[in-house]
Amino acid sequence: MSVTSFRITPNTEPTSAGDRAAILADPGFGRFFTDHMVHVRWSASGGWETGEVRPYGPLSLDPATAALHYGQTVFEGIKAYRHPDGSVWTFRPERNAERLRASARRLALPEPDTGTFLEALEALVRQDVDWVPTPQHHGAESSLYLRPFMIASEPFLGVRPSRTVDFHVIACPTAAYFAGGVKPVRIWLSSHYTRAAPGGTGAAKCGGNYAASLAAQQEASAHDCEQVVFLDASEHRWVEELGGMNVCFVFDNERLVTPPVSGTILEGVTRASLLELAADAGLSVEERPVSIGEWIEAADSGALTEVFACGTAAVVTPIGELVTEERTIACGDSDGGTVGPMLRRALLDLQYGHRRDERGWMTRLA
C-alpha cells in the first residue's frame, strides 16, 4: 500500500458533545465507536486505492463475501494516549505495522506498508481527536483503542485468496479491558482445547485464533474465570498464552519469565516492551518454556510470587488464581505483588507522557 493522503468525508451527524462526554465518562471496552473510520480498498488488478476517512457506519457486504465464509481476516490493536499538554501519541506503531504485515502474509492477504498504516492511524485520530480521553474523563488510564483490520471482500465461494480486500481502522474510547477493572483475575486451564499448533496461525493476529478460543472461553466463564490459558498442542504441557493476551511469571520477586515466541503465540508489543522495562529495572528476564507442572509447583511452594496477563487491551493485569478441573491454585501474592504493578506503572507513565521516552517508542498522532 502506498497511498500518501486520505480523502476526508466528515460525518454530518456526529455524536453530540453531551453524548460523547457521557460515553467518555464510562467507556468500557469495545462498546462505543467514534464518528469516523478509515477505509482503503485493495484489488489484485489495481493494488491499493487512495484511502478515505469517512463517517463510521455499517459495511454493506454481499452474503458471499469470502471473509464471512473462510475467515480470511487479520487485525491489530493499538492505543492513542492523551499527554498532559493535550497532544496525542501512540506506542511503537511500527511494531504493529510489522505484525500486521506478518499476519497478512500468513493469511494470504496484501501487506500494507508501515507509512500508510501510520498515516491511517493519524488521519483517523486527527478527525476524531475529541474522542481521545483526557484524565478528567475516566481516571488517568483511559485511551482511544484503535482497531485496524483487513477483510477478504470478494464475493466468491471458491477457496482461494480474495482478489479484493478492504483495510479499515475503527476506534473506541476504552478504560480497563476486564469489567472489574485492574483487579486480580481468575484463569481457567483448558485441558481439552488448544489454540494453535506448529505451522498453524498462532502467531498471526487473525479472527480464527480468537474464534477458536471461544468455546474454551465459555468453559472459563462457566467456572467464574475471566480468561482461559492454553497449553501447547503437541504435548499439552507447555504454557502458551491466554485467549487474548500473553502471560508472564515472576519467581522470587526478581525473575521475570515468559514463554518464548516460537510460532504458536502472538508476539505481543506489550510483552516485548515489558521485558525491556524489566531488564532496565534490574530484574532478570527469561524467555523460556514454562510447563503447567512448574506453574502449579512453584505456586504451591511460594517460589512463584506473581503471574500477570499482558497485552494492549489488558496492559498488565494480575492473575490471582489458576482454576483447573481438579483444584484452584492461588498464584503468588494475593495483593497482586510488586513487579507487575511496577512494570505497569513504568509502561503507563511512558505512554501517557509522564516519563522521558528514552527509546523513542512514542509517535505523535495529533
Footprint of ligand COI on this chain (CB under 6 A)? Answer: 77, 244, 311-313
Query: In angstroms, what is the minimal distance from the CB of 266 to ligand COI?
Result: 8
Tell me the HSE value of 225 on the side-chain side, using a 13 A CA sphere. 26
- Compare residues 3 and 176 and give the one whose CB is closer to ligand COI: 176
Residue whose CB is less far from ligand COI, 269 or 329: 269
Cα separation, 309 vs 311, in Å, equals 7
Nearest distance from C-beta of residue 358 to ligand COI, angstroms: 24
Q: How far apart are the first and last CA of the chain?
A: 23
Q: Which CB atom, from 296 or from 313, has the smaller least distance to ligand COI?
A: 313
20-31 burial, b if ≥16 CB within 10 A, otherwise e? beebbeebebee
Shortest distance (Å) from residue 110 CB to ligand COI: 21
**Neighbour tally for 194: CB within 10 Å:** 19
Bridge partner residues of 311 (DSSP):
315
Residue number, 3 or 171, with CB nearest to ligand COI = 171
Least Cβ distance, residue 313 to ligand COI (angstroms):
3
Compute the least distance from the CB of residue 350 to ligand COI, in Å: 17
Cβ distance to ligand COI smaller for residue 147 or 163: 147
Assign 3-class secondary structure to 59-117.
Answer: CCCCCCEHHHHHCCEEECCEEEEECCCCCEEEECHHHHHHHHHHHHHHCCCCCCCHHHH
Least distance in Å: CB of 249 to ligand COI? Answer: 19
SS3 of residue 120 by DSSP: helix
Which CB sits closer to ligand COI, 77 or 133?
77
Q: Least distance (Å) from ligand COI to the CB of residue 270?
A: 7
Residue 85 burial class via C-beta count within 10 angstroms: exposed 0-12, middle 13-18, buried 19 and up: exposed
Contact 349, 355 (CB under 8 A): yes
Beta pairing class for 304-311 and 246-251 = antiparallel
The smaller minimum CB distance to ligand COI, of residues 42 and 149, is found at 149
Closest separation between CB of residue 261 and ligand COI, Å? 15
Any idea how long the chain is?
A: 366
Nearer residue to ligand COI within complex by CB, 30 or 161: 30
Minimum CB distance to ligand COI, residue 185 (Å): 12
Q: Which three cell numbers stand for residue 354?
A: 509522564
Task: Provide DSSP, 256-278.
Answer: EEE----SSS---HHHHHHHHHH
- Which residue's CB is nearer to ligand COI, number 65 or number 246? 246
Distance CA 185, CA 360 (A): 32
Minimum gap (Å) between residue 244 Cβ and ligand COI: 3
| DSSP assignments along 177-232, one per residue | SSTT-SS-EEEEEPSS--S--TTSSTTS-BHHHHHHHHHHHHHHHHTT-SEEEEE-
Which residue's CB is nearer to ligand COI, number 248 or number 304?
A: 248
